[in-house]
């Protein structure tokens, strides 16, 4: 054989051997293939009503170990969206943790009209259980209306229930739904005159000693004070003027400006409930989460635990003061310091490289329409009273009775199928007839029927978003979409719930064990979170999953 041929053959053999060694390179534990990461703790953070632009707008005010730590040392999904409507807290938290949409998991609103029970039901209420930690009914909750498993459930099953799940939020639904069906505990804050963390007998018969001790301490009472800005208000140039007509006020206040004297207006605003609509509600949540981290020994053994935290005050503040207010800016600046405090506790108790975090939101929010109108941007309000009067006139003319409609909620009309049948009408024809009438109303942009939702497979645009939110057993007969910038709400403060992009575009950040550093502008969707974490952990996807793992996120 020629020398050149021998040389090439030797070189080829060497390259093949080298590639084989690289392909089989052992990981730290000696396995030939890295199937999963094994963080001691996963921390899932949901910031209620956080628009994506809060991350960029207030960036210069954030410290290095809060939001910036997640962005600079983790992975940022910049084009992340809810792919369904209505965009509200109950469906939002459920979708994050189930990896699917209301069309599958069944939580179609915070509350909705139940066609079987013929009444409105709340997403987390359950009269089969009693309150623990309060004598009121505030603890009668469970996740029973959620029809599929969560990522927290699957982690519990995977570890033979040895891995713990603890869920915490000011709002009951912000704790109950992320905790899943198998949580060791879900705790939420009961305000009024009590100011305590409570739970349901679904989880336990009595509060653990550490929770009772926390409630008995003065850790909550110290936030009964004047709300001043965290920094000099003159530096808050990323928000509107403090004195304006677009913000609400606490009961008893005569102006919208800082400072807000919580002590003075305590009794007129539900006592401890007033804290929810201030950054101090987030402070209380962080205090309690750090206490749970320590007392529950989360991340202390080889079984991965899960801590689900929902920061609810951002939503209360947004609803009252609006997305362009000094109050919302101050709330996010203070939330950033809460994240810094939380991460420091995680570093110390679990280890900086031993935990994984994701942070997202349950929905966005619209800018105050009255403000947008003053800036000559199309926006406005719809009067349900005026629309109802006009619509009832139509129903009497077309059907001879207004009883053909049983309920209107979450921008959906529920029809009385029995009356329609008695009128010898086909349901699809009645739906279409009413939809054509609603399209005549100036503030309504689009109308879709349940027949359209069942008969078509939408893959983009608003009908795709509506279809993902449409549950065949629970949703209404007619779905209404208001024009962009139009809402049914008070003239002050912001709200949400629509399929419009200001309600769907929210942050999605990953950080820690098993997470790549980087970012993407490729579209990601809320149901992608749970399968991404499941892939990271090497566990089963939640059983209703429709999202896909985000491959760029994982090492």
Please give, one letter per residue, the 3-state secondary structure of 337-383: HHHHHHHHHHHHHCCCCCEEEEEEECCCCCCCHHHHHHCCCCCEECC
Among 33, 56, 87, 89, the one annotated catalytic? 89
Domains, the chain: 41-109+143-368+500-553 (3.40.720.10), 383-442+444-482 (3.30.1360.150)
Q: Is 506 in contact with 81 (CB distance < 8 Å)?
A: yes
Closest C-alpha to 512, from 536, 530, 543, 538: 536
Query: What pairing do the DSSP bridges indicate for beta strands 412-415 and 405-409?
Result: antiparallel
The pLDDT score that the predictor gives to residue 384 is 85
Q: Is 415 in contact with 406 (CB distance < 8 Å)?
A: yes
Mean pLDDT by 10 residues, the chain (555 residues): 46 42 40 76 98 98 98 98 98 98 98 96 98 98 98 98 98 98 98 98 98 96 98 98 98 97 98 98 98 98 98 98 98 98 98 97 98 98 90 96 96 97 96 97 97 97 98 98 97 98 98 98 98 98 98 94
Enumerate residues 6+ apart whose C-beta is below 8 A from 23: none
Closest C-alpha to 57, from 232, 242, 238, 315: 238
Give the total residue count for the chain.
555
DSSP letter for 554, please: B
Could you confirm whether 504 is annotated as catalytic?
Answer: no
Residue 242, class by beta-carbon neighbours within 10 Å (0-12 exposed, 13-18 middle, 19+ buried)?
middle
Dist CA 536 CA 142 (whole Å): 28
For every residue of 98-161, DSSP letters joined together read HSS-HHHH---SSEEEETTTTEEEETTB-TTS-EES-SSSTT-B-STT--S--HHHHHHHHTTT
Query: What pairing do the DSSP bridges indicate for beta strands 355-361 and 380-381?
Result: unpaired
The structure tokens 């703790």 sit at 41
The pLDDT score that the predictor gives to residue 27 is 45
The structure tokens 């919302």 sit at 328
Chain segment 104-119, per-residue pLDDT in tens:
999 999 999 999 999 9
Q: The pTM is what?
A: 0.93
- First-to-final CA distance of the chain: 46
The pLDDT score that the predictor gives to residue 5 is 47
């Amino acid at each position: 054989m020629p020398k050149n041929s021998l040389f090439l053959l030797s070189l080829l053999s060497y390259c093949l051997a080298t590639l084989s060694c690289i392909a089989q390179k052992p990981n730290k534990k000696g396995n030939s293939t890295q199937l999963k990461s094994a963080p001691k703790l996963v921390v899932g953070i949901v910031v209620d009503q956080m628009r994506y632009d809060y991350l960029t707008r207030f960036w210069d005010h954030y410290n290095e170990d809060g939001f910036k730590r997640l962005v600079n040392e983790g992975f940022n999904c910049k084009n992340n969206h809810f792919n369904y409507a209505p965009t509200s807290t109950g469906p939002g938290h459920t979708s994050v943790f189930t990896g699917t949409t209301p069309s599958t998991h069944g939580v179609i609103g915070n509350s909705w009209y139940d066609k079987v029970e013929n009444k409105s039901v709340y997403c987390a209420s359950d009269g089969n259980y009693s309150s623990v930690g309060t004598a009121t009914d505030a603890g009668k909750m469970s996740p029973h209306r959620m029809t599929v498993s969560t990522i927290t459930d699957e982690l519990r099953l995977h570890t033979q229930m040895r891995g713990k799940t603890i869920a915490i939020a000011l709002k009951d639904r912000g704790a109950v739904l992320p905790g899943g069906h198998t949580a060791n505990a879900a705790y939420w804050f009961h305000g009024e005159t009590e100011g305590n963390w409570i739970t349901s007998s679904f989880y336990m018969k009595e509060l653990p000693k550490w929770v009772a001790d926390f409630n008995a301490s003065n850790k909550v009472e110290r936030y009964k004070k004047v709300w001043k800005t965290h920094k000099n208000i003159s530096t808050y140039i990323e928000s509107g003027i403090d004195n304006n007509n677009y913000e609400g006020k606490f009961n008893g206040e005569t102006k919208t400006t800082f400072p807000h004297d919580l002590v003075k207006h305590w009794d007129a605003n539900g006592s401890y409930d007033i804290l929810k609509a201030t950054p101090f509600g987030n402070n209380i949540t962080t205090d309690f989460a750090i206490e749970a981290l320590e007392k529950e020994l989360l991340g202390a053994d080889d079984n991965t635990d899960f801590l689900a935290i929902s920061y609810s005050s951002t939503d209360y503040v947004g609803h009252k003061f609006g997305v362009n207010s000094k109050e919302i800016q101050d709330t996010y600046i203070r939330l950033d310091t809460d994240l810094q405090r939380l991460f420091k506790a995680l570093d110390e108790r679990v280890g900086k490289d031993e935990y994984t975090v994701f942070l997202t939101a349950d929905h966005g929010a619209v800018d105050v329409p009255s403000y947008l109108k003053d800036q000559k941007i199309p926006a406005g309000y719809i009067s349900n009273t005026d629309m109802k009067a006009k619509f009832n006139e139509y129903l009497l003319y077309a059907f001879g009775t207004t009883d053909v409609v049983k309920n209107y909620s979450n921008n959906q009309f529920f029809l009385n199928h029995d009356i329609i049948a008695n009128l010898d009408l086909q349901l699809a024809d009645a739906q279409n007839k009413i939809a054509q009438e609603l399209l005549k109303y100036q503030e309504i942009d689009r109308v879709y029927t349940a027949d359209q939702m069942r008969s078509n497979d939408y893959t983009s645009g608003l009908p795709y978003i509506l279809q993902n939110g449409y549950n065949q057993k629970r949703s209404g007969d007619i779905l209404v979409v208001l024009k962009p910038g139009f809402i049914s709400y008070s003239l002050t403060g912001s709200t949400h719930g629509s399929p419009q992009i200001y309600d769907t575009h929210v942050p999605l950040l990953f950080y820690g064990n098993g997470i790549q550093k980087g970012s993407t502008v490729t579209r990601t969707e809320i149901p992608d979170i749970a399968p991404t974490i499941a892939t990271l952990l090497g566990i089963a996807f939640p059983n209703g999953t429709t999202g896909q793992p985000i491959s760029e996120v994982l090492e």
